[in-house]
Amino acid sequence: RAPLLPLLLLAAVALAAVSGTEVAYNDRALVIDGERRIVISGSIHYPRSTPEMWPDLIRKAKEGGLDAIETYVFWNGHEPRRREYNFEGSYDIVRFFKEIQDAGMYAILRIGPYICGEWNYGGLPAWLREISGMQFRMHNHPFEREMETFTTLIVDKLKEAKMFAGQGGPIILSQFDDKEVNVTLDTGATHVVPAWSVSILPDCKTVAYNSAKIKTQTSVMVKRPEVETVRESLAWSWMPVNLQPFMTDEKGNFRKNELLEQIATSGDQSDYLWYRTSFEHKEEATYKLHVNTTGHELYAFVNGKLVGKQHSPNGGFVFQMETPVKLHSGKNYISLLSATIGLKNYGALFEMMPAGIVGGPVKLVDTVTNTTAYDLSNSSWSYKAGLAGEYRETHLDKADDRSQWSGGLNGTIPVHRPFTWYKATFEAPAGEEPVVADLLGLGKGVVWVNGNNLGRYWPSYEAGGDPTRVNLHTVAVGAACAEAAEVGDQVALACSHGRTISSV
Ligand SMILES: *[C@@H]1O[C@H](CO)[C@@H](O)[C@H](O)[C@H]1NC(C)=O
Ligand SMILES: *[C@@H]1O[C@H](CO)[C@@H](O)[C@H](O)[C@H]1NC(C)=O
Ligand SMILES: *[C@@H]1O[C@H](CO)[C@@H](O)[C@H](O)[C@H]1NC(C)=O
Ligand SMILES: *[C@@H]1O[C@H](CO)[C@@H](O)[C@H](O)[C@H]1NC(C)=O
Ligand SMILES: *[C@@H]1O[C@H](CO)[C@@H](O)[C@H](O)[C@H]1NC(C)=O
């Protein structure tokens, strides 16, 4: 991980109210209802689980000794298109905070709007790029205006639901992302807070504690081998993704005599963007198709046939594909499918990083003379974001689609075949422990359980894989412990709740 900038707690905004909790602070501590407190919090990111799972996750956090649950707010999930909002299902943020309240815990609202969080694009919506003059995470009017609109909406929503401590709700702290590395103290001195950490300076000079200097062992999860029976019983069926429509006559979303950047064009609504052009040729001929792209993966089709696929080299994104193609006499179609493996979520100017075939060139090169025969970069290109199954919501296993699946109990399943849907039903493994979908054997793709998106996986760039190696099993804590604290120049180890240290 690149060293990111520390986040500062900027606001402890909860005033006394009759039924509310009074949150204040003095030069030493956070003060809740008159009592100095060190609040131990843990993260639960609400969109990463379903609302049905929240009470149990929160209960376990409480049993584990936490006082507060903190969460980021996921802007690109809540506002996928400008001024079109989503607060349903896993994005029901009010319900999430109510669950925290019901569990008798405090909450910390980390409103972002930049969140890093191993989350696509650091939580920033891709449509921000379409706004002229936009510079992400900087002092500029377009960014500040969008940020203000969104954060005000979130605060108002939570206020209306009486979720702030002063209103009797659980939220004791709110946090905005701040790009400062260095903190100027009241004494005028500058203090550098190491990345990803919190410092305590009791006298405003000397660091008594910094969380980056302490490494504590956390829980180590182990598989429960005794219940690993699911893999053998999974009967997979499969369905090819229908790529044909857009390779020939299907209308795209729009046309442009230009090769456009992918993230801005698709609005990050899909990992996939089609670029298609057609081309009259008066006889059969062989050329080399040359495409210059900024990644991350490229599939090239001529007249509906795959002629090449390639992905970004390690550590870089720009690459050139060169592949022989055969044209027939008459109208020929060149379709280029560009795919991302998720967007960067951190690093300086990460949002400026392009994807797709920005400007090309795309050309047909004479195989004998190695010179450009046709430059197609400014041809009329037709665009379409997403694959057919994404529009059809194949992941919802709709009745209309059922007849299109093959395989099942007695069928054979193609493996290492890109652009394939696989599905199976399973009995949840026995026991109360968390269930893990182990996607061993798969390349790049997306997984859903009961219609809920578990996320994108990409152990490799290659689409496809072998689903027969996929397993579902429960996991349990195998080893835990070690609370460490820096006391002067020593580190003290302890186990809480009367437990003893068995080994170090
Ligand atoms: C932060 O402080 C360090 C050490 O005093 C200094 O080297 C650095 O230039 C400062 N950075 C900024 C952005 O002020
Ligand atoms: C490929 O595209 C990138 C990004 O637009 C550009 O910077 C680069 O010059 C191009 N390279 C070639 C060989 O055309
Ligand atoms: C064809 O020309 C390009 C530059 O235009 C060069 O990079 C490439 O190596 C050449 N290929 C052959 C086979 O000569
Ligand atoms: C395509 O259009 C751009 C912008 O107008 C121009 O700079 C470029 O030279 C054109 N390329 C070709 C091959 O015509
Ligand atoms: C597959 O199983 C079904 C249900 O048992 C049966 O009706 C069908 O004939 C079988 N198909 C093949 C190809 O064995």
The mean pLDDT value for 379-402 works out to 90
> Dihedrals φ, ψ of 347, to 5°?
100, 155
Domain co-membership, 257 together with 351: yes
Q: Which of 369, 386, 403 is the last residue of a domain?
A: 386
Domain co-membership, 487 together with 453: yes
* Ligand 4 within 6 A of CB of 372: no
Residue 10 lies in a domain: no
Tell me, in angstroms, the distance from the centre of ligand 3 to residue 303's CA.
25
Q: Which residues line ligand 5 (CB under 6 A)?
A: 409-410
Residue 361 alpha carbon, nearest atom of ligand 2: 14
> Dihedrals φ, ψ of 190, to 5°?
-100, 130
* Ligand 1 within 6 A of CB of 476: no
Proportion of the chain above pLDDT 70, given as a percent: 88
* Ligand 4 within 6 A of CB of 338: no
Burial pattern 291-313, b for ≥16 Cβ within 10 A else e, equals bbbbbbbbbbbbbeebbbbbbbe
State the pLDDT at residue 180. 45
Q: Which of 322, 320, 337, 330 is nearest to 382 (CA)?
A: 337
Give the ligand whose atoms come closest to the C-alpha of residue 288. 3
Give me the residues paired with residue 326 across strands.
286
* Ligand 1 within 6 A of CB of 182: yes
State the pLDDT at residue 432. 79
Q: Which of 336, 373, 372, 347 is nearest to 260 (CA)?
A: 336
Residue 396 lies in a domain: no
How many domains does the structure of the chain reveal?
A: 3
CB 474 within 8 A of CB 434: yes
Domain co-membership, 176 together with 27: yes
Domain co-membership, 339 together with 427: no
What pLDDT, in 10s, does the model give residues 262-311?
999 999 889 999 999 999 999 999 999 999 999 899 999 999 999 999 99
Tell me, in angstroms, the distance from the centre of ligand 3 to residue 369's CA.
10
The mean pLDDT value for 132-159 works out to 92
Residue 8 lies in a domain: no
Q: Cβ neighbours of residue 114 under 8 Å, at least 6 residues apart?
A: 122, 123, 124, 136, 137, 177
Residue 410 alpha carbon, nearest atom of ligand 5: 1
Burial pattern 80-99, b for ≥16 Cβ within 10 A else e, equals beeeeebeeebbbbebbbbb
Give me the residues paired with residue 280 across strands.
331
Residue 331 lies in a domain: yes
Give Dmax over CA atoms of the chain in angstroms: 86
Domain co-membership, 165 together with 80: yes
Tell me, in angstroms, the distance from the centre of ligand 2 to residue 336's CA.
17
Ligand 4 atom 14: the closest Cα is on which residue? 378
Question: CB-based burial of residue 116 (10 Å sphere; 0-12 exposed, 13-18 middle, 19+ buried)?
Answer: buried
Residue 441 lies in a domain: yes
Domain co-membership, 166 together with 304: no
Distance of CA 367 to CAs 1, 191, 287, 327, Å? 44, 63, 6, 13
* Ligand 1 within 6 A of CB of 192: yes
* Ligand 1 within 6 A of CB of 181: yes
E strand map for 179-317: 182-184, 190-192, 199-200, 209-210, 220-223, 237-240, 254-256, 272-281, 285-293, 297-302, 305-311
Domain co-membership, 84 together with 106: yes
Residue 496 lies in a domain: yes
Domain hosting 351: range is 244-386
> Is the pLDDT confidence value at 234 over 90?
no
Domain co-membership, 448 together with 491: yes
Give the ligand whose atoms come closest to the C-alpha of residue 409. 5
Q: Residue 248 has which token pair? A: 């020939």
Q: Tell me what percent of the chain is helix, strand and coil, each rounded to the nearest 5.
A: 20, 35, 45
Domain co-membership, 291 together with 369: yes
Give the ligand whose atoms come closest to the C-alpha of residue 406. 5
Domain co-membership, 213 together with 268: no
Ligand 1 atom 1: the closest Cα is on which residue? 182
Domain co-membership, 43 together with 103: yes
Residue 399 lies in a domain: no
Ligand 5 atom 12: the closest Cα is on which residue? 410
Tell me, in angstroms, the distance from the centre of ligand 2 to residue 162's CA.
53
Q: What is the CATH number of the domain that holds 82?
A: 3.20.20.80
Q: What is the pTM of this model?
A: 0.83
Domain co-membership, 175 together with 305: no
Q: What is the CATH number of the domain that holds 306?
A: 2.60.120.260
> Is the pLDDT confidence value at 56 over 90?
yes
Question: CB-based burial of residue 26 (10 Å sphere; 0-12 exposed, 13-18 middle, 19+ buried)?
Answer: exposed
What count of other Cβ atoms lies within 10 Å of the Cβ of residue 473? 20
Band of the pLDDT at 474, cuts 50, 70, 90?
A: confident
Q: Which of 370, 386, 402 is the last residue of a domain?
A: 386
Q: Which of 256, 358, 364, 378 to mutate to test the pocket of ligand 4 (most atoms within 8 A of CB)?
A: 378
Residue 397 lies in a domain: no
